[in-house]
Amino acid sequence: MQEIKALSSSQILGKYWKKALFLALSAFLAMPTRQAWADRPPLPFSWGAAFSAHQTEGGDRHSDWWDWELIPGKIAGNHNAQIATDHYNRYEEDFSLARSLNLNTVRISVSWPRIEPEEGKFDEAELEHYLKVVKALRARGIEPVVTLHHFTHPTWFHQKKGWANKDSSEIFAKFARKVASALKTEVRVWITFNEPLIQIIEGYLKGNYPPGISNFQTAVMVYENLVRAHAKAFLAIKSESQRIYKQNKFIIDGTGLALHMHSYSPFRDEKTEEGNQDKQAIEVLEHISQWAFLEAVQTGVLQWNIPPIPALPKGHKLYVEIPEARNTLDWVGINYYTRYLIARDKTNSLGARWEIPKAEVPGKWGNTTLIHPGGLLQLIRATKIHLKSEIPIVISENGLDDAKDLYRKSFIEEHVQAMQQAIKEGYDVRGYWYWSLTDNFEWLSGFDPRFGLIEIDYATLERKVRTSALWFKQFIETSFIKTNAANRN
């Protein structure tokens, strides 16, 4: 029998140094590198495109926007969405094109004015229509994501003081319940509100959107009512549809919000006193426009005082409890387009000015917006800080107005790279939905801006897939995050 000798570690190393070196080297080479990451097995991912009812459907005649658009001067070129892209009648064609682009998700919205043209009277034929719409998506293997509120209201809603009405959240929750009940067999991903802050700012602070009010005090009240409306709609959807697909979840699931988020930087040099003031203005702006709403629907508390808001109405509560809003978020959507330079401006109720002329803002510009993909990565990181539980993030809108399709490919590529970087860093990002599937009616600017993966010829309503969309289709096929409707967990 061979004698077993006890060897010291230095003796072992001495004896096996070649093998040890070989093992260490192989371990080093096996460490994940960029290339290795790209070769990993595909991660189920929601690749999609988004659009809204009023911007595409046409015939949305009970909507507040229908009347608004007819007032001369409200919309560029006095355009209106009476026909829009005629999506209401052409949804099958649009969804087939979406499928041909490898998308596994399409984010639509339902039109509240169509469904409830008179208060409390729901139009069953319109609910039936939307059921057909979501079924048409499913038939193509596409997951429907349904937004309940994307800026439009039935006209009667404003006659009742709109979102300034203390009962507005109840009124909206009834509508939400009705829609959830009608579509629950087909829909497992919902959005209560698209960009509530835009509704508040444009509808109640600047008066550019209906109901055209410009009053800070009303806007504050509306803010609180929208948190309540989100919460009640969330609960209505939950009680109606109780996760029908419990056994068969999608990559994301349940009810979220699509929040409008920007990347903000100080206009003036940060080292100067003015630059410092700009930074403080950004804190206020970010809190009001991004984080306060997001936190309120998780904690049930709307905080107005962190940081102090300059023009808060006198005597207004700084800490508003909305208990029904606790834990009313299953996932959060980031709508990201651009970066703004911010200057402190005491004359503005929010204490900040962001409409700084293009000539004064250096950087890479698209038609109207500054292109800043890095901002998306910063926002994903910042959003996570404001999440109170482990809920996933989705890029619920990201897109470029680019009629000639010159920059869209690089725009998408660079933003997706920023998002992939976040995923590599461990952030739970589960979807990227380009805005928009087709060209469509742009709220204040009419039909000139062209955001679509698919071009619309407004004279003939013919659809044509853009070159950048064909590139996107290929990209989805080869990306490590795949079009795959399988359960992610």
What residue ranges bind ligand BGC (CB under 6 A)?
Answer: 52, 194-195, 260, 335, 397, 435, 442, 451
Task: Give residue 299's Cα distance to chain centre.
Answer: 21
* Distance of closest approach, residue 139 Cβ to ligand BGC, in angstroms: 26
Q: Which residue, 194 or 378, has its beta carbon nearer to ligand BGC? A: 194
Instruction: Please list, residue by residue across 173-190, b when 16 or more beta carbons sit within 10 angstroms of its beta carbon and e when fewer do.
Output: bbbbbbbbebbbebbbbb
Q: What is the DSSP string of 293-322?
A: HHHHHHHSEEES-SSPPTTPPTT--SEEE-
Distance CA 108, CA 111 (A): 10
From 195, 295, 397, 442, active-site residue: 195
Distance CA 52, CA 111 (A): 8
Sign of the four-CA dihedral 66, 67, 70, 75: negative
Contacts of 118 (CB under 8 A, 6+ apart): 154, 156
Q: Which residue, 52 or 255, has its beta carbon nearer to ligand BGC? A: 52
Q: Which residue, 147 or 169, has its beta carbon nearer to ligand BGC? A: 147
Neighbours of 258 (CB within 10 A): 27
* Distance of closest approach, residue 302 Cβ to ligand BGC, in angstroms: 22
Reported as type and span, the H/E element at residue 156 is helix 155-159
Instruction: For strands 393-397 and 429-435, give the pairing.
Output: parallel
Q: Which residue, 393 or 481, has its beta carbon nearer to ligand BGC? A: 393
Residue in 52, 196, 49, 189 with CA at minimum distance from that of residue 113: 52
* Distance of closest approach, residue 142 Cβ to ligand BGC, in angstroms: 20
Helix, strand or coil for residue 433? strand
* Distance of closest approach, residue 352 Cβ to ligand BGC, in angstroms: 19
Is 86 within 8 Å of 461 (Cβ atoms)?
yes
Is 228 within 8 Å of 325 (Cβ atoms)?
yes
442 included as an active-site residue: no
Q: Which residue, 126 or 397, has its beta carbon nearer to ligand BGC? A: 397
* Distance of closest approach, residue 451 Cβ to ligand BGC, in angstroms: 6
Distance CA 366, CA 439 (A): 16
Q: Which residue, 206 or 317, has its beta carbon nearer to ligand BGC? A: 206
Neighbours of 131 (CB within 10 A): 15
Residue with tokens 């371990």: 27
Neighbours of 322 (CB within 10 A): 20
What the block records as the tokens of 215 is 């009053």
* Distance of closest approach, residue 400 Cβ to ligand BGC, in angstroms: 9
Beta bridge pairs of residue 301: 321
* Distance of closest approach, residue 366 Cβ to ligand BGC, in angstroms: 12
* Distance of closest approach, residue 57 Cβ to ligand BGC, in angstroms: 13
Distance CA 90, CA 101 (A): 17
Active site positions, annotated: 195
